[in-house]
Structure 1
């Protein structure tokens, strides 16, 4: 049943991966679709599938979005067809693997920047202007968890995602007081064709990839509610985002570099260090969340204190699960736990400065930060 007859979602990069999974979710909820990608056959196939399963109309626009004026051409085609875009999903993007100075090709990097930055920016500008005139609309921009970390061996890609995240958060502020929401999607490494196309299929990061269907589901649920950002997937993903704001950039760069190196068998010490880092950021995130809740509780009304006690119970439950996992890891070696505690202490020490002025903030400001 089509429950959103007058609503249309335009999705770039819709032929595969996260974009395709998002298209399925919009179709299931009755949104008509405008699907944009380079593969005409695949988009037509998806359109036929969505019509058969959900009764929604699909418009296919075949376009290489890394080309000059690609965004303007897509916008013109949409206007010529008299389609009103209520939701814009800027999902299309590419990466490139290798050392910037000696291994990567400038023409490919220029194409990457055009697609990830210029096209996304112009698509947003063109369709956002129409949304502002109607005072209604939603935009989802694909950033990444690497938008808040360095990314050695994919330096240009990481820089483009930092731009998208910053751009999105700035628009959120500019659009306060309107009925328009903009959301940054910040997934961790996901099981799509991205790494293969980027020339990074043999890197360690591909040994532990998130499911694109799970990423899309988490993203969709948060986006529809108007969230400013969404970090889909596990607690560890969310912990990584929080801790990235307070961990020294040199430390983050080193960890990211290791994850982007080839898959040669790591030494036992490296495995332990990786486990320590993972548990360390999780432990630190629990401490930081607890500290923030404590500040909120102290500065809140009786009604809000009830809400924060409930949040504290949820935090404790999550922490209990995590510490249970840490206890289990003792079976494989005490070094992991020792390293985790050491990492957590280092991160929390840095966090003290970050939360030093928390008592001066309003509860809403602290809650937004968390």
Structure 2
């Protein structure tokens, strides 16, 4: 039986990955900051699906938290077959409105943690000739949206570059770029969502189903919805100046997950 480790596992896309993988019979290592929520989630998944669900409380905004997860990923006696780097958050406000400490924490969670955790798990996967890593980015990676968009753009570029380097090794790496998803993401950041059209909202469970299908096909980039694929195609053709004007009006606080 294979084992998947999911960061940011207790809510939103991370919880949807946990539900789907447990349904398919995978054992899980669930990573998040809230121990009580982790334990409740692990118990529910174990009781409902009969899988083993290990809890690993860790704050990926700290060196100690990242190191704790790195240690679990390099445990050869309990190998991880799939890593889902999902932990992330948004900051409310435009450039210079957000405290520098919060911006640096975002880079630590979105970039440093993704780099270190991917680097920790891949050598073992390559030695076994199999494994997968899903790094959750965002369609904001393709838009000029301050630190959030820049950090997600880094995730996309890093993941696709690493996937190219590992081609033929049996290890698959994929950047997942969702749009707006109905999760706790915006509420936690104190972000309003009233101005977001209904058609732009995605269902987390359907998103995960599409993402895992893309991973099985060997894709290094997944935009798991026809609406957003079309939208991102239009973005590629739009002048950068126009995109900058649109995104500055909506503000970083309305950035997609």
What is the correspondence of 1:319-334 to structure 2 with a 5 Å cutoff?
Answer: none
Structure 2 residue aligned with 1:110? 104
Compute the TM-score of the two structures, normalised by the length of structure 2.
0.91
1:199 offset after TM fit, Å? 2.8
What is the correspondence of 1:26-37 to structure 2 with a 5 Å cutoff?
Answer: 26-37=21-32
Q: Which has the higher contact order (CA 8 A, sep 6+)?
A: 2
Q: Which of 10, 19, 24 is the equivalent residue of 1:15?
A: 10
Question: Is 1:222 matched up with 2:214?
Answer: yes
Q: Which of 239, 252, 265 is the equivalent residue of 2:243?
A: 252
Q: Which of the pair has more CA radius of gyration?
A: 1
State the secondary structure of the residue aligned to 1:82: helix
After superposition, the CA RMSD in angstroms is 2.0
Distance 1:260 1:99, change over 3 A: closer
Aligned partners of 1:203 and 1:260 also within 8 Å = no
Aligned partners of 1:66 and 1:114 also within 8 Å = yes
1:63 offset after TM fit, Å? 0.6
Instruction: Structure 1 unaligned segments of length 5 or more: list them.
Output: 264-370
1:228 offset after TM fit, Å? 1.6
* Count of residues in Structure 1 that have an aligned counterpart in Structure 2: 253
Structure 1 residue aligned with 2:181? 190
Distance in 2 between the 1:129 and 1:114 partners? 22
Structure 1 residue aligned with 2:154? 163
- Structure 1 stretches of 4+ with a deviation exceeding 4 A read 78-81
Question: Is 1:177 matched up with 2:172?
Answer: no
1:109 offset after TM fit, Å? 1.0
Q: What are the superposed Cα offsets for residues 69-94 of structure 1, whole Å, 9 maximum, x if unpaired? A: 42222122455693100100000011
State the secondary structure of the residue aligned to 1:25: helix
Q: Which of 49, 52, 57 is the equivalent residue of 1:54?
A: 49
1:60 offset after TM fit, Å? 0.4
Distance 1:262 1:187, change over 3 A: closer
Question: Is 1:128 matched up with 2:122?
Answer: yes
Structure 2 residue aligned with 1:242? 233
Distance in 1 between the 2:193 and 2:88 partners? 20
Aligned partners of 1:93 and 1:116 also within 8 Å = yes
Structure 2 residue aligned with 1:205? 196
Distance 1:24 1:168, change over 3 A: same
1:50 offset after TM fit, Å? 1.5
Q: Which of 137, 141, 144 is the equivalent residue of 2:138?
A: 144
Compute the TM-score of the two structures, normalised by the length of structure 1.
0.64
Distance in 1 between the 2:163 and 2:70 partners? 22
Comparing 187-196 with 29-38, greater Cα deviation is found at: 187-196
Distance in 2 between the 1:218 and 1:258 partners? 31
Distance in 2 between the 1:81 and 1:13 partners? 23
Aligned partners of 2:94 and 2:251 also within 8 Å = no
What is the correspondence of 1:63-142 to structure 2 with a 5 Å cutoff?
Answer: 63-79=58-74, 82-101=77-96, 103-142=97-136
Distance 1:206 1:198, change over 3 A: farther
Greater helix share, structure number? 1
Structure 2 residue aligned with 1:304? none
